Amino acid sequence: LEHMAFKGKKRPQGALEQEVESLGAHLNTYTTREQTAIYIKAQSKDLPKAVEILADVVQNCGLEDSQIEKERQVILREMQEIDNNLEEVVFDYLHATAYQGTSLGRTVIGPSMNAKKLTRADLVDYVNSHYKAPRMVLAAAGGINHKIDAVNAKTVSEICSKYLYDKCPAVAGVGPIEQIPDYNRIRSAMYWL
């Protein structure tokens, strides 16, 4: 899915890239053993547009059979590269040993048999069951003063209602945020104690 994320139904890949670039933003995705992240780095004034783009990427992922087959070949090549990278192999064995019987014990990219067998229906089922509000987090950071309201709940709710499936998002962190004292700096200044 990470490979298919930017090949949307509403915005073709070229149009998406051009739109992100026109904002001076950066759109990317990555997968770890614990999460898949789709993120955009943009100016704070472009928050509504950034959320719209993220919502489009998540909700309108183009899952055409021809693209799936093309990406399947890319993934199989990546798997070969990983198998030839001793550091990756060692970490995979380390995780398999340390986290036996859990999802953390599996490789990030999965077994090659999965990549060879995966169908469009499998991907659609996965998106429909995992790309839902209770399993997702929309977070915004940066471009803020040290003492402001963390989130304007009304603005976030309006943006989410307009662009995301979940019409009633949970909004966390509403209230004043104050800069926390840098205790490391204080501790360093008190080295003589």
pLDDT at 16 over 80: yes
Least confident range of 18-32, 45-59, 72-86: 45-59
pLDDT, residue 73, reads 94
What pLDDT band is residue 122 in, cutting at 50, 70 and 90?
very high
**What's the rounded mean pLDDT across residues 92-101?**
94
Out of 51-65, 81-95, 153-167, pick the least confident: 153-167
The pLDDT of residue 155 is 62
Residues annotated catalytic, as ranges: 2
Mean pLDDT for all residues in the chain = 79
Which residues is 149 bridged to in the sheet? 176
CB atoms within 10 A of CB 60: 13
pLDDT greater at residue 174 or residue 100: 100
pLDDT of residue 193: 47
189's tokens: 């200044």
Domains of the chain with CATH codes:
13-189 (3.30.830.10)
Q: pLDDT class for 141, splitting at 50, 70, 90? A: confident
Burial class (CB in 10 A: 0-12, 13-18, 19+), 81: exposed
Higher-pLDDT residue of 47 and 164 is 47
Segment 156-166 shows an average pLDDT of 63
> What pLDDT does 145 receive?
44
Q: What is the mean pLDDT of residues 68-89?
A: 93
Whether the per-residue pLDDT at 128 is higher than 90: the answer is: no
pLDDT of residue 146: 38
- The pLDDT value given to residue 178: 53
Burial status of residue 57 (CB atoms within 10 A of its CB: 0-12, 13-18, 19 or more): buried
Q: Are 46 and 26 in contact (CB under 8 A)?
A: no
Q: What is the mean pLDDT of residues 117-138?
A: 86
Q: How many CA atoms lie within 13 A of 17 on its CB side?
A: 5
In a 3-state reduction of DSSP, which class is residue 36? strand
Q: Given pLDDT bands bounded at 50, 70 and 90, which one contains residue 149?
A: very low
C-alpha to C-alpha distances, 137 to 20, 37, 50, 152, 156, nearest whole angstrom: 21, 9, 15, 17, 13
| Residues 92, 84: Cα–Cα separation, whole Å | 12
